[in-house]
Amino acid sequence: MEKRFHKYFWDGLENWGSDYELRRIIEYADFPDLIKYPFSEVQLNISKIPLEKLRTSEERKEFITKLAPFVNSSNSWEEAIWEMIDHYRKENKTS
């Protein structure tokens, strides 16, 4: 894990699973750090996290919940975000 993320693990860095590490980042990281978190770790672990139980703002929870379906079909944060935007843009046009 990059040193920039250590500040989100104030209770230590030992014995956490990679899914817990991602959850902690989603819950506490500022947005620039969140989208710099390794996308391969997001792909590997997003399905293991109970998104409805995240302890974060409703806006962040909504962002992650809406983004999650596009993570595994993407190669980067940017690509996943654009796929999500395109999906919801098309959905809003048809409603």
Rounded-to-integer distance, Cα 95 and Cα 54, Å: 29
**Does the pLDDT of residue 94 top 80, yes or no?**
no
pLDDT of residue 95: 63
23 contacts 49 by C-beta, under 8 angstroms? yes
CA proximity to 18, closest of 44, 36, 39: 44
Domain regions of the chain by residue span: 3-94
Write the pLDDT tens digit of every residue in 1-12. 788 888 998 887
Is there a contact between 67 and 77 (Cβ–Cβ < 8 Å)? no
Verdict on whether the full-model pTM lies above 0.85:
yes
Instruction: For residue range 23-56, list pLDDT tens digits in order.
Output: 999 999 999 999 999 999 999 999 999 999 999 9
CB 65 within 8 A of CB 84: no
For residues 68-91, give the mean pLDDT: 95
